[in-house]
């Protein structure tokens, strides 16, 4: 069966997406867990140790607090409470921290710093993985042992108000709840008022033991305008008043209660300097944890500075405070200052329960647990504790008892620290089998693509794909038999669960069939390559004397090859991944200089009459003809020089100036958004524009950018699409004015600021209208009587619709990025690619490089925190999963998508070869597959690297999503190629 190289590449990239998905499922594993017990089964607590005496304490200690109120403020950074903003905007909380009955901590949240994984960490004491970033969009029911389940089992009555993520994780645990959606980031007022409106009544009631309040407004303000917005101060003041109200109500309840109450102030994660979160910067992982209770009364002059703890420590602390078992999978240690005023025997009992729980978890997850320093310390502590209990039961109140108790206390605290650290380092068990299956599929696809290069990039751009021969091949059945045997052995002998073993045999069998077929296709391609080399040698050698070799690489081809290899090699270093934008900035700048050198060489040849471009007579089948002498590269150079000489003087100047203009655009964009890690904190032009002092400048810049976008895009649109584009861009400015980003004549102060729902939907109507018009023209072009202009116009109008959507989703200060992208595309198409006669493969690689560079120009990085999730809620009144996910993905990958769309337009209009689109699709798939395949090998070999979760894992997620976007692009390429073939 003969397939076009574009269709073949699209099929390969879809298979590669499947392989990457399986690999990701194995790479992002489950945390350490207790396997020997059912998750929520009641288990008797460990008895108090005793040496030769029978202890009378075999039950859980009684609760320390009668009522607990947890106030979780989303995206609350530690400096919002302990820094200057806390002093200014949260005076009551500052008083409690500095002089009140409280203990303050800076709780470190491990990445990924998004809401759902952090709630799991707070309530289970475990360390969620990066796969929870995806689950964060649709939180499943939490099945592992957790604080909420233990409290319900113990008869505690719990009430919840706030983020609906809690209700999804704990659907039947609260006796009363009122949940609000957490993803509608445009709302930062009603989302908090919906929580606060319940406080007046619930604080007066006595029918609850635990009250959980999750406020989202601060997080939403961060996503919209960053941590330096004036709205942050107003929101902090609002939260301070709520905390004072709750604290006063709890103090009044303590008068009639036998036990004190506890107020917990915490954040699930912090907030980066851009207002987002998800990564591992100090601002994102540092959260305040303030415990307020009358049991923590301090003496005059008692200064308590915030200590650094882990966020996972809260689960064990609240379990001790409520008198319930510590969650079985918790890796945290309870905060000892909470019970430091309790009698020594109770303190030792609490410490013993925590160390027993951690030691059991260590035994079930570490094979050589007996040699672990924490376990050895625990055994010593437990033995000393038994001796102390024996002396205590003998009513020995001597100084020996006091000294021994102090020693046991220190031993337990040291054991807790070492055990918690050992378990945290374990983090998870990799699903190696699933990783191997996914990696095998990806590498097989890459090998097949590389072997298919000569045929795929040939004049016909077609490949012979033997679909029937593998089914009758001995190699196919032998490979399938071996893979099936390996699958059975792994799934029946492994101790830990593998994802690939849990799927149905139909799915697993399909994957093994696919792997066997790909291996047979690779062997077939290798055989054909060997045969063509063996039997084509004489022909090749004889043809060299008749015609110059066409395999000579140009300087540009060499740059493309070295740049691709260099980028792949750079992925092996964590610093290069953090600063990958610098690699792409260097590559596109070097590309511009190479193009400049090529242009000036053609200018010299065209004006000076270089002798290597001389003509000579050569006999042919139809007589003699004038041909250019020299090799293939010289021939192309001479053709370009001849085309350059035919240009007018103005066009020639534009060709000479274009590379420098592109370089200037790239340099200006580098100053707009500081990205990466090392210099992300430095002020940039984007920060300057988004400050409230420069709103007028931003407004003028946004208006000018939208006008320029119209002038650059409208030139090839139909009259109706031009009107729709103009009105759509006007709607974009109205939307930004409605939400307060830019100024407008009809807006008077902040009172007129709205959510911009109507304005955004107004723009969506024109986006859909332009896309519909373009699709209609493409369908018309398939009719034999239709002119080819309909297809060209249809493609351009689809491109115009995507540009309008990008203008709506980009923040105002990023509109110059879109303008420069359109300008660079225009300059490259009109004054570089056409005059220099670059082929489809070279043009495709250049489009890919510029698409990657503009991905970083708009402020993106390999850091999850740079994803602008607010773009997913433009024009939405409530959270809708599919539209929000699509808009967020498109806003993130605007650069690659627009450059790929422009590539289709350029090749459909300007390319002379009928196989140009197939060549482009194949090259695009190949150049994206190479870094993905190499990176999978790298992260597999570096999976125990120190920065695997903070640096390498987020990049792996980006690569996976980028591959999915590439698959969609390749399918679009193939569809356009089929349309063109039908038309022809």
| The predicted structure's pLDDT at residue 709 | 96
The series of mean pLDDT values per 10 residues for the chain, 984 residues long, is: 86 95 82 52 74 67 93 95 94 93 93 84 82 56 88 94 90 91 71 92 93 94 87 95 95 87 95 82 92 89 87 95 92 93 91 93 80 89 89 78 90 93 73 91 94 88 71 80 90 70 86 91 84 53 35 77 93 90 95 90 60 48 45 58 69 88 93 82 84 89 96 92 95 91 69 72 95 88 65 91 96 95 94 85 95 94 84 83 89 95 90 83 94 94 78 89 93 76 51
Which residues pair with residue 215 across a beta bridge? 73
Q: Are 850 and 923 in contact (CB under 8 A)?
A: no
For residue 319, what is the enclosing H or E element?
helix 313-322
Output the pLDDT for position 182.
Answer: 63
Residue 404 CA to residue 978 CA, distance in Å, equals: 84
User: In terms of Cα–Cα distance, which of 304, 337, 335, 345 is closest to 420?
Assistant: 335
Residue 59's Cβ-count burial label (10 Å; 0-12, 13-18, 19+) is exposed
Asked whether 130 and 957 are in contact (CB, 8 A), the reply is yes
Query: How confident is the model at residue 46, as a pLDDT?
Result: 82
Half-sphere exposure of 252 (CA within 13 A, CB side): 10
Burial class of 591 by CB neighbour count within 10 A (0 to 12, 13 to 18, 19+): buried
Token pair of 666 as six digits: 């790239």
CB neighbours of residue 19 within 10 Å: 27
Q: Tell me, what's the pLDDT at 380?
A: 92
Among the listed residues 489, 485, 495, the one whose alpha carbon sits nearest the alpha carbon of residue 431: 495
Cβ-based neighbours of 520, under 8 Å, separated by 6 or more? 469, 470, 473, 475, 476, 479
Pair 560, 845: CB distance under 8 Å: yes
Q: Which pLDDT does position 633 carry in this prediction? A: 54
For 187-225, give the DSSP string: -SSHHHHHHHTTHHHHTT--S-SEEEEEE-HHHHHHHHH
Q: Are 571 and 930 in contact (CB under 8 A)?
A: no
Q: What is the pLDDT of residue 82?
A: 95
Query: Given this model, what pLDDT does residue 130 score?
Result: 61
Nearest alpha-carbon partner for 869 in 851, 887, 852, 895: 887
CA 640/CA 636 separation, integer angstroms: 6
Residues in Cβ contact with 487 at an 8 Å cutoff, skipping those fewer than 6 apart = 500, 501, 508, 512
Q: DSSP per residue over 696-710, as a string?
A: HHHHHHHHHHHHHHH
For residue 39, the model assigns a pLDDT of 45
Give the torsion sign (CA, 123, 127, 133, 134): negative
Cα–Cα distance measured from residue 643 to residue 599, given in angstroms and rounded to the nearest whole number: 11
Question: 665 is written with which tokens?
Answer: 């655009």
Which residues are registered as beta bridge partners of 618? 625
CB 426 within 8 A of CB 32: yes
Q: What is the pLDDT of residue 580?
A: 93
What's the pLDDT at 157? 95
Q: Map tokens 């060997």 to a residue.
A: 530
Pair 124, 310: CB distance under 8 Å: no
pTM score of the predicted model: 0.76
Task: Count the Cβ atoms, other than its own, within 10 Å of residue 468.
Answer: 8
- Smallest CA-to-CA distance from 373 within 315, 327, 425, 296 is with 425
What's the pLDDT score for residue 468?
61
pLDDT at residue 725 in the model: 95
């Amino acid at each position: 069966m003969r397939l076009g190289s574009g269709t073949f590449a699209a099929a390969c990239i879809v298979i590669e997406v499947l392989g990457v998905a399986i690999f990701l499922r194995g790479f992002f594993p489950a945390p350490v867990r207790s396997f020997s017990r059912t998750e929520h089964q009641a288990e008797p607590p460990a008895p108090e140790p005793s040496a030769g005496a029978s202890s009378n304490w075999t039950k859980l200690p009684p609760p320390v607090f009668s009522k607990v109120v947890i106030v979780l403020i989303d995206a609350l950074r530690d400096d919002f409470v302990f820094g200057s903003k806390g002093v200014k905007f949260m005076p009551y909380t500052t008083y409690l921290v500095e002089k009140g009955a409280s203990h303050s901590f800076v709780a470190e949240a491990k990445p990924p710093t998004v809401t759902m994984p952090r709630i799991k960490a707070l309530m289970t004491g475990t360390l969620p993985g990066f796969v929870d970033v995806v689950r964060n969009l649709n939180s499943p029911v939490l099945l592992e042992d957790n604080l909420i389940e233990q409290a319900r089992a113990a008869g505690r009555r719990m009430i919840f108000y706030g983020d609906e993520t809690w209700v999804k994780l704990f659907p039947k645990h609260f006796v009363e709840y009122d949940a609000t959606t957490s993803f509608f980031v445009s709302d930062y007022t009603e989302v908090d008022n919906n929580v606060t409106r319940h406080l007046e009544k619930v604080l007066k009631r006595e029918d609850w033991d635990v009250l959980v309040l999750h406020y989202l407004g601060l997080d939403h303000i961060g996503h919209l305008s960053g941590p330096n917005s004036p709205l942050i101060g107003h929101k902090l003041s609002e939260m301070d008043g709520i905390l004072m109200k709750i604290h006063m109500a709890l103090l009044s309840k303590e008068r009639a209660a036998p036990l004190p109450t506890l107020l917990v102030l915490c954040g699930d994660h912090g907030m980066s300097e851009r207002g987002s979160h998800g990564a591992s910067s100090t601002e994102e992982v540092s959260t305040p944890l303030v415990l307020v209770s009358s049991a923590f009364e301090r003496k005059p002059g008692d200064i308590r500075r915030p200590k650094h703890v882990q966020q996972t420590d809260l689960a064990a602390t609240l379990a001790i405070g409520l008198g319930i078992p510590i969650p079985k999978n918790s890796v945290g240690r309870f905060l000892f200052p909470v019970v430091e005023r309790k009698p020594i025997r109770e303190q030792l009992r609490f410490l013993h329960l925590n160390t027993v729980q951690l030691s059991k978890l260590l035994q079930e997850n570490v094979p050589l647990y007996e040699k672990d320093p924490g376990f050895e310390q625990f055994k010593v502590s437990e033995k000393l504790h038994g001796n102390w209990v024996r002396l205590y039961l003998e009513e020995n109140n001597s100084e020996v008892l006091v000294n021994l108790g102090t020693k046991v206390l220190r031993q337990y605290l040291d054991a807790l620290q070492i055990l918690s650290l050992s378990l945290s380092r374990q983090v998870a068990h990799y699903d190696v089998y699933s990783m191997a299956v996914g990696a095998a599929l990806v590498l097989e696809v890459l090998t097949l693509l590389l072997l298919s290069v000569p045929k795929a990039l040939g004049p016909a751009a077609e490949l012979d794909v033997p679909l029937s021969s593998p089914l009758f091949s001995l190699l196919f059945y032998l490979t399938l038999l071996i893979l099936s045997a390996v699958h059975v052995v792994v799934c029946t002998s492994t101790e830990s669960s593998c994802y690939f073993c849990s799927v149905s045999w139909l799915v697993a069998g399909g994957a093994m069939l696919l792997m066997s077929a790909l291996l047979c296709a690779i062997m077939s391609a290798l055989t054909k390559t060997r045969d063509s080399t063996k039997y084509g040698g004489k022909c090749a050698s004889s043809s060299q004397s008749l015609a110059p070799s066409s395999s000579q690489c140009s300087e540009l081809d060499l740059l493309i090859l070295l740049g691709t290899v260099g980028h792949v090699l750079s992925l092996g270093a964590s610093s290069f991944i953090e600063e990958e934008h610098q690699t792409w900035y260097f590559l596109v700048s070097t590309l511009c200089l190479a193009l400049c050198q090529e242009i000036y060489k053609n200018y010299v040849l065209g004006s000076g009459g270089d002798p290597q471009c001389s003509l000579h007579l050569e006999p042919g089948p139809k007589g003699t003809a004038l041909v250019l002498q020299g090799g293939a590269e010289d021939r192309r150079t001479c053709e370009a020089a001849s085309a350059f000489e035919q240009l007018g003087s103005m066009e020639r100047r534009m060709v000479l100036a274009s590379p420098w203009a592109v370089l200037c655009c790239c340099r200006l964009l580098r100053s707009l958004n500081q990205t990466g890690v090392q210099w992300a904190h430095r002020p940039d032009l984007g920060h300057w524009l988004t400050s409230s002092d420069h709103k007028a400048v931003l407004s003028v810049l946004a208006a000018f950018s939208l006008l320029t976008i119209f002038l650059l895009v409208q030139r090839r649109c139909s009259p109706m699409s031009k009107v729709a584009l103009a009105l759509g861009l006007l709607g974009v400015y109205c939307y930004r004015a409605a939400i307060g980003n830019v100024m407008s004549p009809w807006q008077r102060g902040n009172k007129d600021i709205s959510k911009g729902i109507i304005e955004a939907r107004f723009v969506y109507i024109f986006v859909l209208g332009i896309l519909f018009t373009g699709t209609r023209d493409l369908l018309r072009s398939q009719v034999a009587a239709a002119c080819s202009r309909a297809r060209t116009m249809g493609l351009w109008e689809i491109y115009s619709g995507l540009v309008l959507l990008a203008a709506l989703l980009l923040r105002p200060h990023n509109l110059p990025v879109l303008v420069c992208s359109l300008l660079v595309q225009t300059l490259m198409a009109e004054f570089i690619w056409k005059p220099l006669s670059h082929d489809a493969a070279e043009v495709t690689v250049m489009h890919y490089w510029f698409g990657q560079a503009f991905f970083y120009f708009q402020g993106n990085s390999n850091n999850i925190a740079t994803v602008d999730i607010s773009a997913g809620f433009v024009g939405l009144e409530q959270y809708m999963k599919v539209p929000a996910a699509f808009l967020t993905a498109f806003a993130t990958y605007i650069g690659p998508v627009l450059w790929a769309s422009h590539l289709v337009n350029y090749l459909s209009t300007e390319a002379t070869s009928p196989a140009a689109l197939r060549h482009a699709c194949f090259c695009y798939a190949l150049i994206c597959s190479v870094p993905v395949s190499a990176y999978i090998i790298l992260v597999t070999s570096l999976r125990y690297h120190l920065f695997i979760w903070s640096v390498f894992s987020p990049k792996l997620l980006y690569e996976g999503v980028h591959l999915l976007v590439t698959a969609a692009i390749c399918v679009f390429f193939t569809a356009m190629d089929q349309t063109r073939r039908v038309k022809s």
